[in-house]
Amino acid sequence: MTGPVDLGALDAGVCVTDPRLPDDPVVWVNDAFTRITGYRLEHVVGRNCRFLQGPETDPVAVAEIRAALDEGRVVSTVLRNHRRDGSAFWNQLVIGSVHDDTGAVTHRVSVMVDVSDRLDPMRDVRTELSLQAGTRLELLARVSDELARHLDYEAAVDTLGDLVIPALATWGFVAVTDDRGRFEHVHVVAGDAASGALAQSLAEQDLGWLRRAPKVTAALATHPGYVALPYEIDTTGLPGRTSPEQLALLEALGLGSALVVPLRARDRVIGVLCLVHEKPDGFTPDAVVTAAHLSRRAGLALDNVRLFLAQRAAALTLQHSLLPEIPDVPGLDVAALYVPSARLAAVGGDWFDVLPLPDGSIGLAVGDVVGHDMAAAAAMGQLRSLLRSFAWDGDRPTRVLARTDELVRGLDVADIATCVYARVQPDGARLEYARAGHPPPLLRLPDGTVTRLDGALGTPIGIGAAGRPVVEQVVDLPRGATLVMYTDGLIERRDRGLRDGIEALVEAVAALPAELDATQVRDRLVGELVGEHQEDDVCLLVVRRR
């Protein structure tokens, strides 16, 4: 070259970046770059060239470009890029560096040509790529769907390995770490069922072979944007990092090539997915692309499971801390249970209470604050305390609910809550009750007759006293009678309304053997009416007069 080149006059697109600035931003583009990509200088100056990447850009090719630039090599490749309008094109790209007198890189110059016309006739190649992409997307979708169903972290980790490893490799493992970076669970999977025993034996070994694996250690420390590439396994260093038994198992499973994929969550790497092929060149480009997509998608899905479990544990701890221990009550057999919803960290506002009062009567309450979150649980605790204090004064059930409603609205404790409050009179022979928008308790008499206590109904707490009953209802409570108080989660389903749910509960209570104690009644009703994937919280209080 005998003189300076006018980059602006070239028919090829030219983009100049400055690697001395953070993120190697664009500082200049020519008119041809704008014609090819649709981006003008004002659209791109100060941005990294990754804005040309899109859904059809091969992340492996991007990783190879980055590696070549880091090593100071000239890049020459063809990859799929995207214009400003979102359309894809084949970009024949050459990237070189400009150095100053000291040899330091001052700028990078990218020259690009749209070669889509030349590559478009390659329909067979594109069809094959499309089929590969479809298979890849199907696997990624299955991984996302399956991991989203799990409420157990280790089971989710195992599912990831069981789905991905047989599809992409001869064998491999998933290893996840705790908050201190120590391996807390490892799942080894063989693609061939005949090698399943070998994989199981390796999983039962001491994890020293894993902790001393340099590629695994490096993957755990990778930065965002890292794309794992396959490598041929160097077996010469294995004897120094493994026991004879571990080495024998690794060799029996096959040690041709490997691909160690970091499982990246939001701000950290939480583990690795290691894919191993028995052949030195066993991984196809599509397998590498699929693994790159799995790096973040699977890592984020696993982290979501872990976060859900942590939030759920905290919520349930709060919920149970607010629920009372059931006291021993002379003359009464009492059993209660709180069953949390299976949805999210869906702690809620359901509660029960059993309160021996100063006059010898027994206060019984079951309530439900609207909502399924920590705020509902906190409001439940406040509401329960208010109701306890008013009940302690010995007020009638109607008055207890009315005073609770007044203070709830005055202090803005909760939005809306339903509640049933009952009091077993000191002689134990009669029960008086009132309801604030709550489903009716059931009373099973010794002869098996089931009565709905559907009187004394007023508006829910938090709405106001209008329509609240003036007089509570009083019913006899003979010896051997069983009272069932509950929240709507016990009876209501998506496919069953409240009325039908109450009918189902009446039938279930009527069918119970007469000799069951309160605990057995509780367990029978929960077993029959509470589903495996419970949509709502359930509180159940069973009181049997001895």
Query: What's 285's domain CATH number?
Result: 3.30.450.40
User: Do 499 and 352 have their domain in common?
Assistant: yes
Q: Which helix (H) or strand (E) holds 128?
A: helix 123-149
SS3 state of residue 238 = helix
Same structural domain, 151 and 224:
yes
Beta bridge partners of residue 444, listed in sequence order: 450, 482
pLDDT of residue 320: 62
Cα distance between residue 129 and residue 58, in whole Å? 11
Judgement on whether residues 110 and 132 belong to the same structural domain of the protein: no
Question: Which range, of 115-124, 324-333, 381-390, averages the lowest pLDDT?
Answer: 115-124
d(CA 271, CA 298): 10
Beta strand residue intervals within 314-471, DSSP E: 332-339, 349-356, 362-369, 417-424, 430-436, 442-444, 450-452, 457-458
Dig out the tokens for 164 from the structure: 């991905």
In tens, the pLDDT along 220-255 reads 998 887 888 899 998 888 998 899 999 999 999 999
Same structural domain, 368 and 512: yes
Q: Are 285 and 207 members of one domain?
A: yes
Cα 411 from Cα 427, distance rounded (Å): 36
Q: What are the start-end ranges of the E strands in 469-530?
A: 473-476, 482-486
Residues 106 and 196 both lie in one domain: no
The secondary structure element, H or E, covering residue 376 is helix 374-392
Give dist(CA 496, CA 126) in Å, integer.
51
Higher pLDDT, 344 or 97: 97
- CB–CB of 94/108 below 8 Å? no
Task: Tell me how crowded residue 531 is: count the other CB atoms within 10 A of its CB.
Answer: 8
**Residue 294 included in any domain:** yes
Alpha carbon 371 to its chain centroid, in Å, reads 20
Q: Is the confidence at residue 400, as pLDDT, over 60?
A: yes
Please indicate, yes or no, if residue 299 is contained in any of the structural domains: yes
CATH number, position 450: 3.60.40.10
CATH number at residue 34: 3.30.450.20
- Alpha-carbon distance 161 to 157, whole Å? 7
Both 285 and 368 in one domain: the answer is: no
Residue 277 structural domain: 123-313
Query: What residue has token string 């600035």?
Result: 21
Same domain membership, residue 112 and residue 130 = no
* Distance of alpha carbon 543 from the chain centroid: 38
130: number of Cβ within 10 Å: 11
Give start and end residues of each alpha helix (H) in 178-268. Answer: 196-203, 208-211, 214-220, 244-253
- 96 touches 107 (CB < 8 A): no
Structural domain includes residue 1 = no
CA-nearest of 475, 499, 477 to 488 is 499
Structure-token pair, residue 350:
């359901």
Last residue of one domain, picked from the residues 118, 149, 177: 118
Looking at the DSSP bridge assignments, the partners of residue 138 are none
What counts of helices (H) and strands (E) characterise the chain? 15, 21
Cα four-point dihedral sign 116, 121, 125, 128: positive
Q: Are residues 85 and 147 in the same domain?
A: no
Same domain, 399 and 290: no
Q: pLDDT digits over 38-47, tens only?
A: 999 999 999 9
CA atoms within 13 A on the CB side of 388: 15
Predicted structure pTM score: 0.51
Total residue count of the chain as it appears in this document:
546
Inside any domain, residue 227: yes
State the DSSP H helix or E strand holding residue 231, giving kind and residue range, or none if neither.
Answer: strand 231-232
- 277 and 131, same domain (yes or no): yes
**Which residues are CB-contacts of 1 (< 8 A; sequence separation ≥ 6)?**
none
Q: What is the pLDDT of residue 321?
A: 62
- What pLDDT digit, counting tens, does each position of 414-423 carry? 678 899 999 9
Q: How confident is the model at residue 60 (pLDDT cuts 50, 70, 90)?
A: confident
pLDDT digits (tens, 9 = 90+) for 443-476: 999 999 999 999 999 999 988 764 455 688 999 9
* pLDDT at position 414: 63
> How high does pLDDT run on average in the chain?
85
Structural domain count of the chain:
3
**Same domain for 87 and 60:** yes
Reading the block at residue 157, the tokens are 């980790």
Checking DSSP bridges between strand 430-436 and strand 457-458, what pairing results, if any?
parallel
Residue 308 domain-assigned? Answer: yes
Judge whether 318 lies within some domain: no
pLDDT at 331: 92
Decide if 2 is inside a domain: no
